[in-house]
Amino acid sequence: MQETVIDAHNLSKIYDEQTIPVYALNGVHLHITRGEFTAIKGPSGSGKTTLLNMIGGLDTPSDGYVEINGTKITALKGNDLIDFRLNNIGFVFQSYNLIPVLTAKENIEFILLLQKRPRKEREQRVLELLREIGLEDKINKRPRELSGGQQQRVAVARALAPKPQFILADEPTANLDSVSADNLLDMMAKLNKEENMTFVFSTHDQRVIDRARRVITLEDGKIVADTSPTKIEHDQTE
């Protein structure tokens, strides 16, 4: 049986722009199981960021709820929400969002420090991650000394450090050239395959969409398509 990681039920978000309400999300149901490698696509303004922010507990829905491994994240508040996010969800953003004054090692270690993990465990985990992202030689470099692609790899390692349930990545390749974007996707696909890490990423880059095993299409805040290309092929041969 497939283990449910994310269960979003009837999610809606209305931004009140003066008097005209805008539905950024409109009755979205979404079910993600462990080990998925899923892309959320859709034109600018279709609700991708809003959906990821709701799933990650960075914003609250106007209606509906989100359960992460059976915990209703939309009902958590204050420190409970912060702790739950730190322990369960890895975030990767379009603009990397590394801390400029910290080295690659310190950026990756940051969440483990917040979690008060022992030094030895922190060091081991950071080294293991630097190896996995192929940047062992950049351990003491600060973000400005790294390329965009390298910074985004560090951001993925930082997100992975506390061994989250899944990684949410909002247009992670938007600021990367096509070679760096491809390398980042290779790395994410490898972590998905070897560690069964669940990835949910938004994108409007067709080359990135082609790498996903499941593609969810948003339009005007609604899911208008949900396809798993490998599954369709499989079904047709039966």
Rule CB under 5 A: which residues touch Mg ion?
Answer: 48-49
* Residue partners of 92: CB distance under 8 A and separation at least 6: 152, 155, 156, 159, 167, 168, 169, 170, 172, 201
Hey, what are 217's tokens?
Answer: 């299409």
The least distance separating ligand ADP from the CB of residue 53, rounded to whole angstroms, comes to: 8
Q: Which is nearer to Mg ion, 42 or 143 (CB)?
A: 42
Contact 71, 81 (CB under 8 A): no
Q: Could you say which of Mg ion, ligand ADP, none residue 45 binds, taking C-beta under 5 to 8 angstroms by partner kind?
A: ligand ADP
Q: At its nearest, how many Å lie between Mg ion and the CB of residue 52?
A: 8
Specify which residues 90 forms β-bridges with: 167
| Complex with Mg ion: residue 48 or 125, whichever CB lies closer | 48
38 binds, among ligand ADP, Mg ion, none (CB under 5 to 8 A by kind): none
DSSP 8-state secondary structure symbol assigned to residue 3: P
Residues 6 or more apart whose Cβ sits within 8 Å of residue 203: 39, 40, 41, 171, 172, 173, 174, 209
Residue closer to ligand ADP by CB (options 49, 180) is 49
CA-based radius of gyration for the chain: 18
Q: Minimum Å distance from CB 223 to ligand ADP? A: 13
CA distances from 142 to 12, 106, 108, 153, 222 (A): 40, 9, 12, 13, 40
Q: Which is nearer to Mg ion, 44 or 236 (CB)?
A: 44
Smallest separation (angstroms) from Mg ion to the CB of 170: 6
Q: What residue 148 binds from ligand ADP, Mg ion, none (CB within 5 to 8 A, per partner kind)?
A: none
Residues that bind ligand ADP (CB under 6 A): 15, 17, 22, 24, 42, 44-50
